Amino acid sequence: MSKKIYTFGDGKAQGDASMRNLLGGKGANLAEMNLLGMPVPPGFTITTEVCTEYTQYGRDQVVKDIKAEVESAIAHVEELTGKKFDDPKNPLLVSVRSGARASMPGMMDTVLNLGMNDATVASLAEKSGNPRFAWDSYRRFVQMYGDVVLGMKPKTKTEIDPFEAIIDAVKEEKGVKFDTDLSVDDLKELVKRFKAAVKEHTGKDFPDSAWEQLWGGICAVFDSWMNERAILYRRMNQIPEEWGTAVNVQAMVYGNMGNNSATGVAFSRDAATGENIFNGEYLINAQGEDVVAGIRTPQQITIEGSRRWAALQGISEEERASKYPALEESMPDCAAELIAIAKKLEAYFKDMQDMEFTIQDGKLWMLQTRNGKRTGAAMVKIAMDLLRAGEIDEKTALNRMEPQKLDELLHPVFDKAALKRAKVMAKGLPASPGAATGQIVFFADDAEAWAEKKMKVVLVRIETSPEDLRGMAVAQGILTMRGGMTSHAAVVARGMGKCCVSGAGEIKVDYEARTVEMGGTLYKEGDWISLNGSTGDVYDGQVPTVEPELDGDFGAIMNLAAKYTKTLVRTNADTPRDARQARNFGAQGIGLCRTEHMFFEGDRIKAVREMILASDVEGRRRALAKLLPMQRGDFEGIFEAMDGFGVTIRLLDPPLHEFVPHQTATQKELAEEMGITLAEVKAKVDALEEFNPMLGHRGCRLGITYPEITEMQTRAIIEAALAVKARGIDVHPEIMIPLVGSLKEIQNQANIINTTAAKVFEEKGESLPYLVGTMIEVPRAALVANQIAEVAEFFSFGTNDLTQMTFGFSRDDAPKFLKFYKEHGIIKTDPFEVLDQEGVGQLVEMGVKKGRATRPELKVGICGEHGGEPSSVKFCAKLGMNYVSCSPFRVPIARVAAAQAAIED
């Protein structure tokens, strides 16, 4: 039977940092900190494998399987602490915390002070000489256990936590403002009322047995692996369900023993900007969850940080030093020890550390360390700073990049001129950078509903909890009244790359009325505000944004990507502006230029409609002759922007009905311009209507039935290429035939292309090399790729349509059920966002192999949206594709993913 529990304490540990898959991140690092000789309360870790068994076999079986090992591990902690579990005279109290192998801040459950009952609270009061601390610990335990294990939660979204409601009532009765102002008798009254509420809610008395409490806590943590917010967080961060969570049981240390005790969270570097500045927050006379939950706004650890915070809040230096001193001022020895430990941990793990600590009666204890969540900008800066310092090598720096987080660096920022005119309504803490503008909503489900209607929202909360994750995910930004830089809102927002302003203490949020008061103005749900996550300012209305300026570290990471990658990154661009933008981001060519996008501009649409409605070939040719110079001009602009790189131009793809007018007024106009009757226009429009246009008369099928379209487009491409070549531009045209499913289809179209190109070369007395290829998007094309490659000189996989046809999903209709599919485990990811490697990917692999079997030098790429999704890019790189192509703003993401694939290879 495999070992299920690993102990640690007193400088020894059965595990270490390399065992995070088995012990979870928290358990592995607690073991490692012990081995490094750091002050860590003793305890033990129940492995992630037990969580998997718990999900499979249920509570009773797992408790039976691990009972003896848990009892033995508790005995180990008793020995190291000199205390006894479930003993009324000398009680050992423990914390029970989750810890998956990937950090999931706040998504799972924690219980502190476990082992307390009416007998142990009395001995704890006597032993500590501090009855207030004992009863405060007891009320916290009953509250946490009631919430986490017994399921005492608010019944509606406007209700507050049932325990908090009792606390508020008692504070009001006693005429006090803060929890810390409650007397021992008040705390006893709270415990009494809490227990009565538990009895009313569950029909049972609150459990007195420490062992019953322990099993309740352990099982609640395992249960929380499958709670709604944890499932959602895993889905958002691609964390597999089968990983499971470990459970960490540790002897309690207390930050709530009085003014010589504290609890806090620290970062070895700034998680928002990446600057090499130690920072963090603490609360005097509090317990760990108080800081992260954001219920009280904490104080800063360093004097420098404290002064910065005071400046943001408009607090004088005298008031700051007397009312809100830094830990360096209130407990200088503990602060110095903490900073030294942070340096040691960062040097050891070679990455920015996020640490939790408690100070009990003047002694520092470390409760956790992990690689800290950070913004995209901080991710790049920290990696490059560590590389320059010689702490990590180039490949490690590249592998530290989460490719999709680079997207944050490309987000718009507020226009500086507009900011000078904007009205600041409130000021909070700059918890996560960014520029957010949206309409106010107060609840996560409303944020989701509004976002589904394509509305931009800012989620405004008193404080966020893990239940708000859904709303945070879709909001442009988050504003909270309470909570510091290390609160749940701040940590999760930074991890998501969301703009967040926390701890804006002057605002007043009213959930019932759905209003927030700021700067003397009452804002209602739906009113517009803007947040500056870099300064903490909250502005009235909508503040305009501009494109960001990228710094040297971003360029340095892109240079590293270029050094290691074997797969080129092209862009999907239909205009010279998009092409230039993508080239600035390092795109090396265009993998998809959609010619039909050019047809909708200005007067062109009239010529296109004329061509479609023409009754004969001559009429079509006359209309196409009008389009020719327009198309030629477009292609010249794109060839110029991509000087030196290949440009793949897809011939007309959509069905013709997309270009014709469907409103009677526009049809009437068109009829007058063409000198035909309205009835004739209507008849032609009706004739173009298709039951299933996605599988209808489109792509190469149009070019085969109307060869003059292919002729005109080929002429425009070749004439444009010759024109820019004459101006000294290095041009590489690649003509792509869409929707090919058979050899005959590509032969037909390639013949027209080559004949037309030869005519243009003869007319101009000049020639240049060009390629003819196809888009592999029909499953049959992948199956007969060996035949198609007899003609095609390149393949570009159009994985959007290939996914539609392989799954039999319509991309427009699938969202109606794909969300349900994901929530119920039918599929892990949306196949239109992440390439389905098992199905669609097999067709892609087959197409590459068969194509290159016929034509070994065949150039192969991908141009669906998957070309900018990191795991799909890595799959393409492993298949030996020459390039991936994606939208301009995803080019940096694809470049880093391609480089990582080359490093992994």
Catalytic residue ranges: 488, 863
* Tokens at 638, concatenated: 């794109």
Alpha-carbon span 707 to 753, nearest angstrom: 10
**Single-letter amino acid, residue 66:** I
Question: DSSP letters of 310-321?
Answer: HHHHT--HHHHH
Residue 726 CB coordination number (10 Å): 10
Burial-class residue 603 by CB neighbours within 10 Å (0-12, 13-18, 19+): exposed
**Single-letter amino acid, residue 387:** L
Residue 548 backbone dihedrals phi, psi, to 5 degrees: -80, 160
* Tokens at 285, concatenated: 């006379």
Pairing of β 245-251 and β 262-267: unpaired
Alpha-carbon span 35 to 62, nearest angstrom: 30
Q: Which residues contact 355 (CB under 8 A, 6 or more apart)?
A: 265, 266, 267, 268, 280, 338, 341, 342, 345, 366, 368, 369
Residue 538: strand, helix, or coil? strand
Q: How many angstroms separate the Cα of 650 from the Cα of each of 105, 169, 593, 699?
A: 46, 69, 6, 9
**CA-based nearest residue to 729, from 721, 719, 737:** 721
Alpha-carbon span 336 to 301, nearest angstrom: 10
Buried residues in 378-396 as b, exposed as e (16+ CB within 10 A): bbbbbbbbbbeeeebeebe
For tokens 């946490």, the residue is 144
Alpha-carbon span 903 to 396, nearest angstrom: 9
**CA-based nearest residue to 520, from 505, 507, 534, 511:** 507
**CA-based nearest residue to 24, from 121, 122, 97:** 97
Contact predicate 877/560, CB 8 Å? no
Label residue 536 left, alpha or beta by phi (over 0 means left) and psi (-120 to 50 means alpha).
left
Contact predicate 877/870, CB 8 Å? no
Residue 136: strand, helix, or coil? helix
Give the single-character DSSP code of 598.
G
Q: Answer positive or negative: Cα dihedral of 330, 334, 340, 344.
A: negative
Buried residues in 613-632 as b, exposed as e (16+ CB within 10 A): bbeeeeebeebbebbbebbb
**CA-based nearest residue to 883, from 872, 903, 864, 867:** 867
Contact predicate 303/329, CB 8 Å? yes
Pairing of β 413-414 and β 545-546: antiparallel
Q: Which residues contact 182 (CB under 8 A, 6 or more apart)?
A: 170, 171, 174, 176, 190
Residue 575: strand, helix, or coil? coil
Alpha-carbon span 776 to 784, nearest angstrom: 10
Residue 149 CB coordination number (10 Å): 22
Between helix 48-57 and helix 20-35 the angle, nearest 10°, is: 150
